[in-house]
Amino acid sequence: MLSAARRHRALIDSLTASGALTDRRLAAAFRAVPRHFFIPLHGAVTTSGSPLDADRAPERWLEAAYADEPVVVQIDDGDPERPEGVPTSSCSAPGIVARMLEAARLRDGQRVLEVGTGTGWNAALLAARLGDDRVVSVEIDPEVLEGARAALVRAGRTPRTVRGDGEFGYPEGAPYHRVIATCAATRVPRAWVRQTVEGGLVVLPWTAMEGAGVLARLTVHGDGSASGPFLGGLGFMPLRSQRPPPAAAPPPEAEPDETRLLHGLDPIAPLTRFSTAFAVTVAVHRWRMGLRPAPGGAGRQLWLASSDGGSWARVLPAGTAWRVEQAGPRSLWDEVEDAQEEWRTLGEPPPERYGLTVAADGHHRVWLDTPDGPGWDQD
């Protein structure tokens, strides 16, 4: 059985060799903070749902602690009465953590606010890089925070940890040079921008729709606005106050207002690719999509639904063609088709060519290539 120390060294060596960790000081912080201190001995699970127990299966537990994979430490906010089985807190994959901290461009002397303490590993890494007294971490869940504090003690780190709603930041410790969110947001909270110094950065997973998230790095300007590029796709659990409503697929018996046939290539496949789905989500507002088996098990169908439940669409195989069904005040499939056509006209740009501006009044606008380029209002 490989020791924790050897697994730890191997993980950091892998992150540096792959280019995920290029900042020498940040790499030193990763080497100084063993990840297994922040994985609960009992009760955690892998993303596939396999339970982890350090007493019954210590090698499996240690292997998960040093794999480049997330470890789920809480389901359904820890509420045994909830049957959803939705992960609500985790220790993020090391490669993703490295990517976010590299994006933050950390420098000596900076003060950082972390939104979402989680297991405490990210806060410990920040503290190892900048100093314990330079880091404030806010966590809304009392049980999660209690576990993080215990883990930080084991690791010998003492950043300031606060119980509170991270959407409001932590004004008592402001201003900060960096705000780093370990939860996804659709609306960048004004408090994060206000509590960051001019020229400082807000780094967060941003999403227009669940499942199509990107890493955003926003620079705060003197007029109270913030803007910056997207740095590729990634997925995080949403900020609790911004959790999307449960996906509501139209019932199989729902009758459409309109039906038509599509001929040619599979219209569903493009929307299963991240680059297409992302471009569509920034252009089509307040909707959800999903896949389920087609009636009779003949392939798959795509469903779309507006967030208010008033409009829906289905795309189903129909022999050698595809049948589109729509209902409600919005023709959702038409909106999705128009968004895809616009994206193709623009040359099918990848998510890395997009960025976000948050105006001083809170208005959100996604843009292509530059803040003055083609854009899509998000309000």
Domain ranges of the chain: 4-242, 258-345
Q: Is pLDDT at 310 greater than 90 in this prediction? A: no
pTM assigned to the model: 0.94
Contact yes or no for 1/59 (Cβ under 8 A): yes
Give the tens place of pLDDT for each residue, 333-378.
999 999 999 999 999 999 999 999 999 999 999 999 999 999 999 9
**Is 3 labeled as catalytic in the residue annotation?**
no
Q: Is pLDDT at 1 greater than 70 in this prediction? A: no
Q: Is pLDDT at 95 greater than 90 in this prediction? A: yes
Q: What is the pLDDT of residue 308?
A: 75
Q: What is the pLDDT of residue 27?
A: 98
Residue 225 CB coordination number (10 Å): 18
Cα-Cα-Cα-Cα torsion 71, 229, 280, 311, nearest 10 degrees, comes to 80
Q: Is pLDDT at 296 greater than 80 in this prediction? A: no
Q: What are phi and psi of 176, to 5 degrees?
A: -115, 150
Q: What is the pLDDT of residue 281?
A: 93
Catalytic residue among 3, 89, 90, 92: 92
CATH fold of 258-345: TATA-Binding Protein (3.30.310)
What average pLDDT does this structure show over 88-103? 96
Q: What is the pLDDT of residue 210?
A: 63
Q: What is the pLDDT of residue 80?
A: 83
Give the tens place of pLDDT for each residue, 108-157.
999 999 999 999 999 999 999 999 999 999 999 999 999 999 999 999 99
Residues 6+ apart with CB under 8 A from 214: 205, 206, 207, 230, 231, 232, 233, 234, 278, 351, 354
Q: What is the pLDDT of residue 9?
A: 97
Q: Is pLDDT at 46 greater than 80 in this prediction? A: yes
Q: What is the pLDDT of residue 247?
A: 66
Q: What is the pLDDT of residue 86?
A: 86
Q: What is the pLDDT of residue 84?
A: 78
More confidently predicted of 117 and 252: 117
The CA distance from 310 to 69, in Å, is: 38
Q: What is the pLDDT of residue 227?
A: 98
Class of domain 4-242: alpha beta
Q: Is pLDDT at 295 greater than 90 in this prediction? A: no
Task: Calculate what percentage of the chain has a pLDDT beyond 90.
Answer: 83
Range in 10-19, 160-169, 186-195, 233-242 the model is least confident about: 233-242
Own/partner contacts of 368-374, CB < 8 Å, gap of 24 or more, are 371/227, 374/346
Q: Is pLDDT at 194 greater than 70 in this prediction? A: yes
Q: What is the pLDDT of residue 206?
A: 97
